[in-house]
Structures are given as structure tokens and as C-alpha cells.
Structure 1
Amino acid sequence: MARSRLFRALKSLTLWVLVALLAGLFAGAAADTWGLPGGAGTASLIQSIGELWLNALKMTIIPLIFGLLVTGIASIADAAATGRLALKALMVFAVLLVGATIYAFIASESLHMLWPIDPAAGQALISSAPDSSTVRESASGAGLSGFLSSLAPSNPVRAAADDAILAIVVFAIAFGFATTRLESRMRAPLVGFFEAVSATMIVIVHWVLMAAPIGVFALSMGVGLNAGVGALGTLSHYVALVVLAQIGLILLIYPVAVLWGRIGLPRFIEGIIPAQVVAFSTQSSLASLPAMVEQARRGLGVSDATSGLVLPLAVAIFRITSPVANLAVVIYCAHLFGVELGPAAWLAGGLTALAVSVGSVGLPGQVSFFVSIAPICIAMGVPLQVLPLLLAVEVIPDIFRTIGNVTADLAAARIVEGRDAVADPEPGAGI
């Protein structure tokens, strides 16, 4: 009940955040043209409000990521222990996630080569971002040797204080798997503790996001003072590149389902369209679950047993668009700030993206946006300062996130069913 209220509240907040973004940009452009009452003092005060809101979001990252990873790994271990079918589903999820992560780097970097950010517009957008001149040093920037040595934190507390996010992710994964080796009497309260920590952090993030219109207005007004309404062009370019990366992923899922799931392309397309329509209208994989179960059984030839286990499990722990969309955002920010990314940075970002995709499943879009992307930015040495502005226009990419997740969930159900799937009803429809 509390989670559903949170989803509804954040969904209604999206419009206000978008309005605040536009209002801030236009107010800043107007102030740049006709002057700002109070001059530099007022501009500094507005910037401080934006920085305060951004810092309030950042302070929840470490405890939330740690708690989500521990509980996420525990849930995966519980699922794997339920039987062979669940274990097969987890293996399919893992293969698809790794493939999606590799695709994310290829697609995003290729899109930037074909359609790069306008240098002048990009510089105008980041010139007013708080601490935009500072790029955080990360192990990924120290080459492969520095990356490898940073994986195991000698002092986890120090690593948390230094925002060594990849080291914290590795420690959290090890901690999570270690809890699965404990007796149930010790494991249950420990996992319950981290569930409580995660829930508490989500409440704090919810409080901070309730002030998102104020924070986004303050940050976007600073942008408007420097870039004017021309910043909308850069934001539109950002939305287009993130959406294109996700559309490419969705299109790739079709041949994967056809070849690995042993199903004809026309049948697969016809079978998943009703669930995709629900995903488009609700922007929620959970709300799309009944339609997915119905279409898996009637349209894709998946048995009741497989659809009843695989699809709820997929909604709970599998989100294929997470690494693709999140890495697209981070790579966009890297190009925006002129951060050079090498193999070590890609490896650090890929591992972090895979880890947080497990932990952030089931969170509202506005919460998961910052929780999922900020750790990847930190791991790859990319500044976070423009993320609040990108959050304001997340409503469009979020639609394609959900469509992609639903498409992959249904493909995974058909793949898990394998040879036992009901044959295509039309002769020659299979391959």
C-alpha cells in the first residue's frame, strides 16, 4: 500500500518537475536579458539552493546502494533455491543482461559519433552546473592496474567516504553472497536490517524528490542565465540519443527471442503487442504483469508453470533496459563534460551498471534514475551535476524503459520454456 502511494505521488510529481525545468530556463533567460534583482548575490543564492537539493540526493547513494545490493542478492539466492526452472531463468536473465551491457557501450558511443553534442550548446549547459569544472578522479582513470587494485577496498568505511563506489559495490556483493551461507536464524534478521535501511533511504529520497520542482527550478535557472532557452536543444538531443539506444535494444530482442526461443517472428510480434501497449500506458512493469502472463500463455505458447514463475521473477529482479539506458545517460554526460573514457572506465561502468540493475529493480522511476546512474558516474569519473536536469526530462525515456523490459520479460519466458513451448498454430510460422 505504501509503495503504491509512493508510485502515484512520484508519477504526479513528474509534470511539476518538467514545468519547473521550463520555468527555470525561461526565468534565467529573461533575467539574463533584463537583469536579475539583487544581481550576483541573488544568482549565488539560487545556485546554493540547487546545490543543497543535489547534495541531499547524493547523501543517500552509499547506504541505499549497499542495502539494495545485499537484499537483491538474497532474493536471487532464494529464487535459485526454488528449483531447476528458476535457476534456468536466472541464467537466461544473466546472459541477456551481459549482452545488453555490451550493446550499451557500442550503441551509445556509435550514436555520439554519428550525432555528436554541439560543443557550444554543451558548454553553455554545463557552465552553470555546480562544480562543473571538477571531474572526480576514479580508479577507472588510473588504467587497468589501478582499476584492478581498487576492486577490493582495504577500508570499506574510507571507500564510502571517498565515494569509491565500485569498491563499495564489490564489497556489497561479497557481503550479500556471504549472507546466503549463514543459517536462517542469523541471515533473516541481517537481511531484514538492510531491507529496513533501504526502505528508510527511499523515504528520504522521496522527501527530497518532493522538493524536486524547487531544486530543478534553481538549477535550470542558473542554466538559463548562461545558456538561455537554447539549453532545450541540448536536452532534446539527450532524450533522442537515450531513446534511440533503447529502441535499438528492443529491436535486438526480437531476433534473440526468435532464435533462442524457437518461435516465429510474426507470432512473437503478435503475442507481445498487447503487453507492450499496457507498458506504454502505465510505464510500470508490475502493472503490465497480468497482461504479460496472459500473452505468454495465449500468444507465445508458454505453459502456466513457466509463465507463473518466470514473469513474476523477471519483474522482481530483471530489468534489461537498466544498463542500456543508465550507461547511455552516463556516456552522454561524459561527452558533455569532455571526459575521456577508456577500457578501464568501460569495465568499471559495466560492472557497476550490472550490479545496480539488480538492486534498483522495483523502485519508482525518479528514485531509480539517480540511485542507478550516480554510482555509474562516480565509478567512471563522470560529474553528476547535470543529472537533476536530465531527471526532469526522464518521462520520455522511461516509457521506452518499460516497453523494453516487458519485451525482454516475455522473450525470457519463451526462452526458458524452450522445446516444451506449444508449437506455432500456423504451419511454417516457426523457424
Structure 2
Amino acid sequence: MSQATRILLALVAGIALGIAAVAADRRVALAAVTVTQPIGEAWLHALQMVIVPLIVGLLVTGIAATAEAARAGRIAGRAVALFVVVLWSTTLMSAAVMPLLLDLWPLPQAWSAALRAALTEVPATGKVPTLVDFFNTIVPTNIVAAAAGDAFLPLTVFTLAFAFAITRLEAESRERLVGLFRSITDAMLVIIGWVLKLAPIGIFALAYGVGARTGAAAFGALVHYIVLVSTIGFIVMLAGYGVARFAGAVPLGRFARAVAPAQGIAVSTQSSLASLPAMLKGSEAIGVAPATAGIVLPVAVAIFRATSPAMNLAVALYVAHWLGVAIGPGQLAAGVATAAITTMGSVSLPGTISFFASVAPVAFAMGVPIEALGLLVAVETVPDLFRTVGNVTMDVAVTSVVGRTDANPPRHGEVAAAG
């Protein structure tokens, strides 16, 4: 049984047991929550403790990899520039569309109230940050205080500047520092691996409390979440067709036929890497030179996930809606910036780890509690399908744009030197 299956079963079993226990004896069932809740929260805290060093390490190594790709040649540099444009564009789309979806199909008020009571002590909203507050806090005055206070946006801004500064060092110093942060990242991933082995226990403990306090509302809320967040991924996938048609000058029917095999592999494996051979073949079918696709697509698989910032921001906005946390312009701007920037660091992580590593900083930056993530990760399998299919579609679309603008693609023998 896969880890994802065990986690999902733990979620369902916890909620169902909570509902059944309340039906049998409400007083005893709720008393049991005082035992299960601390267990679940301890598991969440174990994940939370590694997020700061993990994000710093991932950003440094991710920026280093991106800079190396950009330096590798003209084609790779153009691809990286397009990746950045797509990432910011999809993130801004999510910032506009997700609130609209939540307005059109809001979580029922009774469910929302019950879940707020079951999941966490939601902090008082107080003054909703404005854009002025966003710009006042984006640059940290004390990086240590920013890290200690989970101020992820200023921490990310500093780390981004630090990572780009490393890319300007001489090769020996650069490799030494990047190697250090890669080792830190690897150590954090080992710890997260240990914590995730306990995920069925932690999620079961959290889910029991939610089931006992909310009843069947928990299942309805999870379905609501899956549909809305997956919709954002679906929109990014559709945008890939638009990019290929209008920027890559590929007829829609031709592009759809070319990308379909890669999409099928993406659905069955939930892996962009496994889809790479089919993406290479599909790119050739739409007229991209094999040498060009041989540079762009491996770089895309290594450092680019078109759906990630949009769907990560959507998750944070959904949790804010779920818990009744008001999101002002400053918080939304912080979420957009954090989602778009941190994406480049977490692309090579397994799905469960990537979910926490990429969504938690966005939630922290927006002042959204992360307790709900312990439940949402259990149903991430369905949104992850849309993530992978959207990524694969946009990878081929961006390759079509690079192929169109590359008047003199390198010969096969030059691919190794460029990549």
C-alpha cells in the first residue's frame, strides 16, 4: 500500500470514527479529542520545524540551478525567462480567479463555522494589511527575527538576494556554498521523511477531532476543496493550449494531438519526469527541432512547475475562506510574491513533501493558519493529477514558443554542450 493511500485511509477512518463515536456517546467522544488533538498537533509541529531551513536551502539550490540553466546557452536562457513569465502570470490568475470561485460557490456557512471550531484557534483578524503594509514589511530589518517569527516573505526576499549573490561568486566559492545548502536541504528531507512515516497517525488524530466536532460536514468540505483547487490547475492546463496557439503558432488540434500521450502518462504516473520522452516526441510532432526540445524540456522538468504557484496560492486562499480569515490587498500581494518565488525551489520534491514545503510559506506569508494542511494533504492525490497534467501541457507549450523564436537551433552535437 502506498504512503498516499495509507494517509487517505487514515483521514477517512479518523473522520468516520469521530462521527460514529459522537453518535454512540457524545461526551466520551469529545473527551477523547483532548488526547487525539495534541497528538495531531505535535505531528504538525514536527513538519513545521523544518520549513524555514528547508525553504532557505531549496531557494538557494533552486536559484543556482536556474542560473546555471540560463548560463548554459541562448535557448536555455530564453526558456528560463519564459518560465518566470508563466509562473507569475498563473499566480496572478489564481489571485483573481480563486476568490471569484469562492464567491460563486462558497463553503456552506454552517460547515465553515463547524470546521473553524474543530481545526484551530483562528487568530483575531484585527487590521487587515494594506498594500502599504506589504511594502513596509517586504524587506526585513532583522533576518533572524523574520525566520523566528515565520515571516516568510521578507525571509524569502533576503534568501533570494543571497542566492543571486552566490551566483556571482567565483566557481569554487559558489560550488562550496551551494553544496552546503544542498546538504542542509538533504538533511531536512531526511527529517521530513521520518515525520511523514508517522503521517497516518497524525492525520488520523486530527481527523478524529474534526469528525467528532463537525460530523459529515468534513467530507463535504474536502470535496468542495478538491473541486475548487483542481479547477485552478485545469485553468492553467487550458492556458497551455492558448500559449501554444497564440505564442507558439501551433494549431490547437495539432497541439492537442501532440500533447495527449504525455498527458496520459502524467495521469497514470503523476510524474513530469516519466512524461519526458512523450513530451519530446510531442514537441517534435508540432515542429520543434529535436535539439531545441532536448534542451528546453529537461530544464523545464528540473526547475519549472507551471501549476504550482497558482494552486499553492489557491490552497492558502481556500484555507483562509474555510477558517474565516479576511485577506486584504497586502496579504494577497504577499501570497502572490511568496508563491511565485518559492516555486523554483521545491520542484524536485515528492508530492507530499512539496505540498507542505510550498504551501506552508504562502499560508504563513498571508497570516493563514496551517493546521488545515494536515488534513488537506491526505486528499492531495486528486489535485496533484491536475498539477501534473497542467505542468506537462505548459512544458510542451513553452517549448513550442522557444522553438518558434529560435531561428538557428543547435545541432544534435551541441545539445550536450548547451545543456
With normalisation by structure 2, the TM-score equals 0.94
Q: CA deviation at 1:420?
A: 5.4
CA distance in 1, matches of 2:10, 2:45: 19
Q: CA deviation at 1:358?
A: 0.5
Whether 1:202 aligns to 2:192 is: no
- Give the percent of matched residue pairs that are identical in Structure 1 and Structure 2: 47
CA distance in 1, matches of 2:17, 2:362: 32
Counterpart in 1 of 2:417? none
CA distance in 1, matches of 2:386, 2:370: 23
CA distance in 2, matches of 1:350, 1:85: 28
Whether 1:317 aligns to 2:306 is: no
CA distance in 2, matches of 1:255, 1:164: 36
Whether 1:304 aligns to 2:290 is: yes
Counterpart in 1 of 2:79? 89
CA distance in 2, matches of 1:110, 1:147: 22
Contact 2:22-2:29 within 8 A present in 1 as well: no
Counterpart in 1 of 2:109? 119
Counterpart in 2 of 1:369? 355
Secondary structure of the corresponding residue to residue 338 of structure 2: helix
Whether 1:164 aligns to 2:154 is: no
CA distance in 1, matches of 2:255, 2:33: 55
Counterpart in 1 of 2:386? 400
Match among 26, 37, 42 for residue 16 of structure 2: 26
Structure 2 vs 1, CA of residues 22 and 254 (structure 1 numbering), >3 Å: closer, same or farther? same
Match among 354, 363, 372 for residue 386 of structure 1: 372
Match among 349, 373, 376 for residue 335 of structure 2: 349
Structure 2 vs 1, CA of residues 90 and 39 (structure 1 numbering), >3 Å: closer, same or farther? closer
Matched to 1:279, the amino acid is A
Whether 1:79 aligns to 2:65 is: no
Matched to 1:134, the amino acid is P
Secondary structure of the corresponding residue to residue 154 of structure 1: coil
Matched to 1:282, the amino acid is T
Matched to 2:123, the amino acid is T
CA distance in 2, matches of 1:178, 1:76: 13
Structure 2 vs 1, CA of residues 338 and 36 (structure 1 numbering), >3 Å: closer, same or farther? closer
Counterpart in 2 of 1:5? none
Whether 1:416 aligns to 2:402 is: yes
CA distance in 1, matches of 2:318, 2:347: 23
Match among 141, 145, 150 for residue 137 of structure 2: 150
Q: Aligned pairs, how many?
A: 408
CA distance in 2, matches of 1:164, 1:420: 42
Structure 2 vs 1, CA of residues 133 and 256 (structure 1 numbering), >3 Å: closer, same or farther? same
Contact 2:90-2:309 within 8 A present in 1 as well: yes
CA distance in 2, matches of 1:390, 1:136: 23
Counterpart in 2 of 1:13? 3
CA distance in 2, matches of 1:39, 1:290: 53
Deviates more, 1:327-336 or 1:150-159: 150-159
Structure 2 vs 1, CA of residues 277 and 184 (structure 1 numbering), >3 Å: closer, same or farther? same
CA distance in 2, matches of 1:251, 1:39: 46
- After superposition, residues 252-291 of structure 1 pair within 5 angstroms as 252-291=239-278
Q: CA deviation at 1:133?
A: 2.5
Q: CA deviation at 1:40?
A: 5.5
Q: CA deviation at 1:392?
A: 0.5
Counterpart in 1 of 2:320? 334
CA distance in 1, matches of 2:91, 2:216: 34
Question: RMSD of the alignment, in Å?
Answer: 1.8
Counterpart in 1 of 2:411? none
Match among 66, 70, 83 for residue 56 of structure 2: 66
Whether 1:222 aligns to 2:209 is: yes
CA distance in 2, matches of 1:390, 1:260: 36
Contact 1:136-1:383 within 8 A present in 2 as well: no
Per-residue CA deviations over 1:47-73 (Å, capped at 9, x if unaligned) read: 110010010010011000000001111
CA distance in 2, matches of 1:237, 1:122: 11
Q: CA deviation at 1:353?
A: 0.2
Matched to 2:117, the amino acid is S
Secondary structure of the corresponding residue to residue 273 of structure 2: helix
Q: CA deviation at 1:96?
A: 1.1
Structure 2 vs 1, CA of residues 337 and 38 (structure 1 numbering), >3 Å: closer, same or farther? closer
Matched to 2:242, the amino acid is P
Secondary structure of the corresponding residue to residue 160 of structure 1: helix
- Structure 1 segments unaligned to the other structure (5+ residues): 1-10, 423-431
CA distance in 2, matches of 1:306, 1:132: 52
Matched to 1:295, the amino acid is G
Deviates more, 1:250-259 or 1:167-176: 250-259
Contact 2:18-2:29 within 8 A present in 1 as well: no
Contact 2:125-2:325 within 8 A present in 1 as well: no
CA distance in 1, matches of 2:124, 2:170: 44
Matched to 1:341, the amino acid is I
Contact 1:20-1:216 within 8 A present in 2 as well: yes
Deviates more, 1:53-62 or 1:116-125: 116-125
